[in-house]
Amino acid sequence: MIRTGTEAFYLSRGAHRLFCLLQSPPPGGSLRGAILHVPAFAEEMNKSRRVVAETALALAAHGWQVMVLDLQGTGDSGGDFADADWPGWIEDVRFAWRWLEQRSGVIPALWGLRTGCLLINDALSDLACERLLYWQPTLNGDTALAQFLRLRAMASVAKANAPKETTRSLIGALEAGEAVEVAGYLLAPSLALPLRQTRLGGPAYAGKMVLWIEVSSANPPALPPTSEARAQELRQTGARVDARCVEGLGFWMTQEIDECPKLVEATVTALSSVPWL
């Protein structure tokens, strides 16, 4: 069993209380660096808890201080999901990153999963972050929102004598200022509409080191062409991008809580390489 120092606590950002779980290297070990995890969206965050926790423990055992953040209105943080908004989440990331920088004494890396990568994307412009770890990054917020809204649209089809909804009609409701409930989450326009406008990429990546890892059940596993193309776009902005794919299931969307050992192993191995020291 991996033994590390574990701290659970709340950070106060104004009136907001952000729950954090901090994993530190074992006593007497040297500090390789610090990493802030920015979670996936809605139920994907819950499905990913186990893999994220296993990775945080493994990284801590290899000298990293890892902080897992619950954004406002999610997990064990204060507030309701219905009150969450995209600009507020951006500030949550920036606030937690600066706190970890002060606590660790080093410049933290940012580790995003799925839509968490888009949130990091929008937070980067005001952070001196040099290293990014992207797991299965969502490339466009428009796609992420459409996939989420499709859950409600599909549910409406299954209801007899109920009006049939589409992602387009639900986006129309959001644009009209209405909150939309999807799979138990009340989604506010102030969260959905800015997310819809977000696209991974831009000049903020110049000079950054990006470790991009995806999972695939294909044999052999390979990045999809869309990811390859976006990684190349980041390189053209001046980023150094190491993009790779490992064997594994899409644990963020499986029916049962799943694991992804090859992703954990690949992450720990890659972050132990020279460019990340």
3-class DSSP state of 260:
coil
Question: Are 44 and 131 members of one domain?
Answer: yes
Instruction: Read off the pLDDT of each residue in 145-155 and give the average, rounded to a whole number.
Output: 89
Question: Are 46 and 132 members of one domain?
Answer: yes
Q: Is residue 15 part of a domain?
A: yes
Q: Is residue 250 part of a domain?
A: yes
Question: Are 164 and 268 members of one domain?
Answer: no
Q: Is residue 14 part of a domain?
A: yes
Q: What is the pLDDT of residues 81-110, one digit of tens each?
A: 999 999 999 999 999 999 999 999 999 999
Q: Is residue 117 part of a domain?
A: yes
Residue 4 has pLDDT above 60, yes or no: no
Question: Are 183 and 271 members of one domain?
Answer: no
- Domain limit, last residue, from 149, 170, 197: 197
Question: Are 54 and 113 members of one domain?
Answer: yes
Question: Are 25 and 64 members of one domain?
Answer: yes
Closest Cα to residue 68, out of 80, 88, 54? 54
Question: Are 128 and 258 members of one domain?
Answer: yes
* Structural domain boundaries enclosing 147: 141-197
- Domain limit, last residue, from 168, 197, 226: 197
Q: What is the pLDDT of residues 255-273, one digit of tens each?
A: 888 889 999 999 999 998 7
Q: How many domains does the chain have?
A: 2
Lowest mean pLDDT among 148-157, 182-191, 230-239: 148-157
Question: Are 22 and 98 members of one domain?
Answer: yes
Domain harbouring 131, CATH code: 3.40.50.1820
- Domain limit, last residue, from 153, 177, 197: 197
Q: What is the mean pLDDT of the chain?
A: 92
Question: Are 106 and 183 members of one domain?
Answer: no
- Residue 220: cis peptide before it, omega within 30 degrees of 0: yes
Q: Is the entire prediction scored with pTM above 0.85?
A: yes
pLDDT for res 52: 97
The DSSP letter of residue 224 is -
Residues with Cβ within 8 Å of 225's Cβ and at least 6 positions away in sequence, in order, are: none
Q: Residues 258-268, buried b or exposed e (16+ Cβ, 10 A)?
A: bebeebbebbe
Q: Is residue 202 part of a domain?
A: no
Q: Is residue 100 part of a domain?
A: yes
Question: Are 131 and 17 members of one domain?
Answer: yes
Question: Are 72 and 44 members of one domain?
Answer: yes
Q: Is residue 184 part of a domain?
A: yes
Residue 3 has pLDDT above 50, yes or no: no
**Is 240 within 8 Å of 233 (Cβ atoms)?**
no
Question: Are 242 and 110 members of one domain?
Answer: yes
Q: Is residue 253 part of a domain?
A: yes
The DSSP letter of residue 70 is P
